[in-house]
Structure 1
Amino acid sequence: MAKKRNVTREDGRIAVQVYLGRGEDGKRKYKTVYGRTQKEADEKALQVKLSMRKGIDVTAERDTFEDWEKRWLKAKAMNVSAGQLTAYTSCGAHLVRAIGHMPISKIRTADIQDVIDTLADYNPTTKKPTAKKTLRQVRMTAAQVFQLAIDNRVLDYNPASAVKIPEKAPQEKRRALTKEEQEWIINTPHRAQRAAMIMMYAGLRRGEVIPLTWTDIDLDKRTIQVNKTVEMIQGKAVVKNTAKTDSSLRTVDIPKVLVDYLRYEKEKAQEADKVKILRPLVCPSAKGDIMNSRAWASMWRSYISDLNLKYGDFSDMEKRPKSKFIPGGVPMRIPNITAHWLRHTFATMLYMAGVDVLTAKEQLGHADVETTLQIYTHLDSTYKRRSMDKLDAYLSEEGKIQSIK
């Protein structure tokens, strides 16, 4: 692997060529490195040789991060939902904006850390500090782009693996409903109530509730089969006969409160249709067909408005609003309950009931147990006293507590 030395450029730098082998055209290929001194140039040449011995493709080191991010997104587009691809594209855009121009081989952990720290302070899209969940997604995107380069023998380490999420970054405002708020869902009839009850007591995602049919629900066995999902593509609902991931294909065991509610709703739907053959969708649009993004948003706004009118605190107003259609609208006095909050409520119920993390993973349809563990770990910090109470109860039942004299 001969190299040519002492080629001095006009700018005073010394160039050293490292022989790389012959190309597909049979011609000899070299890589040129530069140094202010012969020692510096030789050291760089040695690093090239060491990389080659590891199998690294040193000819691709000039490829930028943006080049590899585009390759990664192209591969992802074939295997993920439209919504997930949009999320990946957004995370990639943050990275490309900051380090996209840099050769991927030159990027270090500190460069990615700077991106994360900057986003933690200010997100140019939202004009606010970036939530920890989003920062983790950006870090994961960077890690996967670098891993693609590693798999293609362009790099031998992943600089994103050591990046830390700042503690000061805000947590995403997603929480479980309180007992009082759960009662709101149970006691307020509305076209959206079926969806809300299913998300709160079975943990289904919005995209899993929309295409749900009555044949997917076995009230005698107390189960719901999750076997399809809806993707909103340019506002239109596209049903896929598969779930979000393989793990999302699942059978969810449901509690008696949901069984009783759905049994009543099924009988009510049959009476409304004046036949014994139900319309297939459990949560159809106002027209009876599958909901698109606009139909869902309209239904949910109406539902939250009804909850607000019924349960909101309007003691500071001269008169309590009697209709949600008053001029100027009714001031929002309750939290903006979302589908994510209802699903998180189900996860919290599983935790509070003592359901183990692996069973919770299956019930929630998480792709990996780490996602469930993050929820359980967060709840552990919130309900730490409850965990110790369980230990006290166990020790007491087993007769293991001895009086100390």
Structure 2
Amino acid sequence: MARRKMYQRADGLYEKKITISGKRHVFRAASEREVMQKIAAFQEREERGPSFEEEAVAWWVECEQKIRYGTVHGYQAAMRRAVEYFGQDAVRSVEAADIHAFLLYLAKRGYAHKTVKNQLTVLRQIFLHALMARHIRSLPTDGVSVPAGLSHHSRQLAPDAAIEAIKATGPEDFLLPALILYTGARCGEALALQGGDIDFHASRISINKAVVYHSNQPVISPTKTQKGERTVPLLRPLVKLLAQRGPHRPEEYIIGGAAPITKSALYRRWESFCRAHGLAHVDEERTRRAGRTVWACEIDRHTLRHEYATILYDAGIDKMSAMEFMGHADLATTEKIYTHIRQSRLAGAAAQLDAFLTEKAQ
């Protein structure tokens, strides 16, 4: 029986409509042979499924606008690493063993526990996207965990000199260090505080938003997590510092006035504070490369947030209350910080005891 001639449109193109995987598809080309070649190539792609790179790009296009701005860069870096590794492999061909091998590969390259954990989070989201699109039947990330033995970066507590400098903050000093130390706010949360967020009568501060930076410009966004929206005590040392600067209107930002400060102003004023109080030194290597003097601050903003946790620890505040004050998403984070403080204190006590016995023996 002769093959039915393919439909030819008025513009001269040949066209064929077929149903593949329950969906109607139309193929057009200048000749019947080209149409059949297109159909064969399409069926081959359908059978193979999208590549990992195609799936990752589709996931990113769909989710980018939903990701908090401060998280975007970390997720982008994780996606790029995954695409470099899996590339054109069919997404349905990737198995749990392949993902585990990838995480081990990152570990051997020196990536820390937090980075590898974030990598696994991004992989789970990409494969969940593939599952919802019916490109895979199960999640290959199920049962995969971060390899053991990866380095954990433990943030050091602020030096005593830094705490004393902040306690001595004057009317002309940059207020941000004291604001973080006495509220435990993340830097962006502290920068977003307005006069209306501070209730002097009830002695409390409402933390309900944060500043993030798009290039150099500040943008108001939600807090890092839902738990980030919280109320913390207004401590007396901070009351005194705020009183020195006069009353703030409800809409006025505590730092910045009519609007939050820019990113460059944040860095410049933080460096000035550190230099003024002997908490910065010249970074010789960066100075040599830049051809100008580059200063390195000896305290960072997140260190002071951890110092607030130390204040809670020393005051005997229970872990659940500390979790609420710090705005942690789960208790494990608070417990980890409390454990680090305790271990640091024990290490210091051991060194003190050893020095005492050494001195006695001399």
TM-score normalised by L of structure 1: 0.64
Give the CA deviation at 1:111.
Answer: 2.5
The aligned counterpart of 2:230 is: 250
Question: Distance between the aligned counterparts of 2:229 and 2:340, measured in 1?
Answer: 26
Alignment match of 2:205 (pick from 224, 234, 237):
224
Give the CA deviation at 1:26.
Answer: 10
Q: 1:350-365 counterparts in 2 under 5 A?
A: 350-365=312-327
Question: Distance between the aligned counterparts of 2:125 and 2:346, measured in 1?
Answer: 35
Consecutive unaligned residues of structure 1, counting only runs of 5 or more, are 1-19, 28-57, 123-128, 313-326, 386-405
Structure 1 position 85 matched with structure 2 position 72? yes
> Is 2:248–2:254's contact at 8 Å kept on the other side of the alignment?
no
Question: Distance between the aligned counterparts of 1:291 and 1:214, measured in 2?
Answer: 15
The aligned counterpart of 1:366 is: 328
> Is 1:357–1:372's contact at 8 Å kept on the other side of the alignment?
yes
Structure 1 position 204 matched with structure 2 position 185? yes
The aligned counterpart of 2:245 is: 269
Q: 1:89–1:249: structure 2 CA closer, same or farther, 3 Å change rule? A: same
> Is 1:76–1:85's contact at 8 Å kept on the other side of the alignment?
no
Structure 1 position 65 matched with structure 2 position 52? yes
Give the CA deviation at 1:147.
Answer: 2.8
The aligned counterpart of 2:271 is: 301
Question: Distance between the aligned counterparts of 2:344 and 2:265, measured in 1?
Answer: 36
Give the CA deviation at 1:180.
Answer: 4.4
Structure 1 position 157 matched with structure 2 position 144? no
Give the CA deviation at 1:293.
Answer: 0.8
TM-score normalised by L of structure 2: 0.70
* One-letter identity of the residue aligned with 2:237: Y
The aligned counterpart of 2:24 is: 25
Give the CA deviation at 1:196.
Answer: 1.0
CA RMSD of aligned residues (A): 3.6
> Is 2:170–2:241's contact at 8 Å kept on the other side of the alignment?
no
The aligned counterpart of 2:298 is: 336
Structure 1 position 120 matched with structure 2 position 107? yes
> Is 1:225–1:250's contact at 8 Å kept on the other side of the alignment?
yes
Give the CA deviation at 1:376.
Answer: 4.1
Q: 1:360–1:64: structure 2 CA closer, same or farther, 3 Å change rule? A: farther
Q: 1:111–1:293: structure 2 CA closer, same or farther, 3 Å change rule? A: same
Question: Distance between the aligned counterparts of 2:330 and 2:147, measured in 1?
Answer: 21
> Is 1:236–1:292's contact at 8 Å kept on the other side of the alignment?
yes
Structure 1 position 291 matched with structure 2 position 278? no
Deviation per residue, 1:194-239 (Å, 9 max, x gap): 2111212211111111121122112332211112221201211112
Give the paired residue count.
Answer: 302
Q: 1:64–1:170: structure 2 CA closer, same or farther, 3 Å change rule? A: same
Question: Distance between the aligned counterparts of 2:59 and 2:267, measured in 1?
Answer: 32
> Is 2:177–2:304's contact at 8 Å kept on the other side of the alignment?
yes
> Is 1:250–1:365's contact at 8 Å kept on the other side of the alignment?
yes
Question: Distance between the aligned counterparts of 2:66 and 2:340, measured in 1?
Answer: 30
Alignment match of 1:146 (pick from 127, 130, 142):
127
Q: 1:217–1:267: structure 2 CA closer, same or farther, 3 Å change rule? A: same
Q: 1:361–1:87: structure 2 CA closer, same or farther, 3 Å change rule? A: same
The aligned counterpart of 2:42 is: none
> Is 1:109–1:163's contact at 8 Å kept on the other side of the alignment?
no
> Is 1:139–1:160's contact at 8 Å kept on the other side of the alignment?
no
Aligned partner of residue 237 in structure 1, secondary structure? strand
Q: 1:83–1:361: structure 2 CA closer, same or farther, 3 Å change rule? A: same
Question: Distance between the aligned counterparts of 1:192 and 1:102, measured in 2?
Answer: 56
Structure 1 position 101 matched with structure 2 position 88? yes
Aligned partner of residue 141 in structure 1, secondary structure? helix
Give the CA deviation at 1:300.
Answer: 1.0
Question: Distance between the aligned counterparts of 1:278 and 1:226, measured in 2?
Answer: 14
* One-letter identity of the residue aligned with 2:302: H
Consecutive unaligned residues of structure 2, counting only runs of 5 or more, are 1-18, 27-44, 282-290, 348-362
Question: Distance between the aligned counterparts of 1:218 and 1:60, measured in 2?
Answer: 63
